Structure 1
Amino acid sequence: MVVPYTRVDDPKKLQRLMAAVLMIAADVDLPELLRHLVEEARFLVDARYGALGVLNPDRTALEEFITVGLSDAQVAAIGPRPIGRGVLGLLITDPRPLRLERLGDHPESYGFPPEHPAMTSFLGVPVRVRDDVYGNLYLTEKMGADSFSDEDEALAEALALAAGVAIQNARLHDQVRV
């Protein structure tokens, strides 16, 4: 996968993207790094909400789900974290970027808990390193537009790649310690 950076014109966005990617080399624990990458993705693409789902090693379900943009009260009201069904599951079985102007119109859009905030626009990209998929980055509710752009997708893919490298490094480190 090659992220076409030529689609990103804003030098300030490129600077923030570079700073976020360089955090991989910092001595930061994985959950903190992943949360930072989701926060940056949300900022760079003007999304109200962001999340990163980390797949279990078998790629059958989400083992971790990091959310940004929801209050602690909203997270508690929503209930248990998603396990990877619906559109989130589609991205697990078919790890390709997915942009939707109206999330609710997609045939795989189901399973939202009653207390979940409304979400219309959606951008999901795989968190991967080459052919190894580690999860997905999800961004919803594009602010100031009806849908996410090519530039948004390029920025999200770059940050998802950084997250993939971080997860891969952490898992390799865990294997070496055993």
Structure 2
Amino acid sequence: MASVQATGRAARLDVDNPEQTPATYVEGVYLGLRSVVASPIVVEDRVWGAMGIGSRRERLPEDTEQRLADFTELVATAVANAESRTELTDSRARIVAAADQTRRRIERDLHDGAQQRLVTLALELRVAQAELPPNSTRSVRTSTAPSPEQPAPWTNSAKSPAASTPPS
């Protein structure tokens, strides 16, 4: 298994094979196995893990490497899918959080901005009224000047959208 993870390639160990290195032979005897095949699990071009199969009685068939490689490819696909699903879930959470933050900012700007513009406009109107000469026509003064007791009609209609949008 260590050589599979180190090289990223499948490996086979047969204790009765004279071509095996002494270390491999000792490892096989130590494990009590006569034949071992291992294959890497490669996810996104990196060795994610390895899977092996062994036999204590007889040598594994020659097609075991290919069959195990096919299986580890399925495992790698499952691992990649799970990782992608996790990344997608995290990405969705970031998008929702960003949208919520933007919505709250827009609500706050609408609420605060409209209110500030109305107050500014009301103050500018009072300054303009104060600058009118005392002998100006009364109709100009009364058409632009709400009494202090009664707010201008446009303030109520303009306040309603701001009031219906709560700040965060």
TM-score (norm 2): 0.42
More strand per residue: 1
Greater radius of gyration (CA): 2
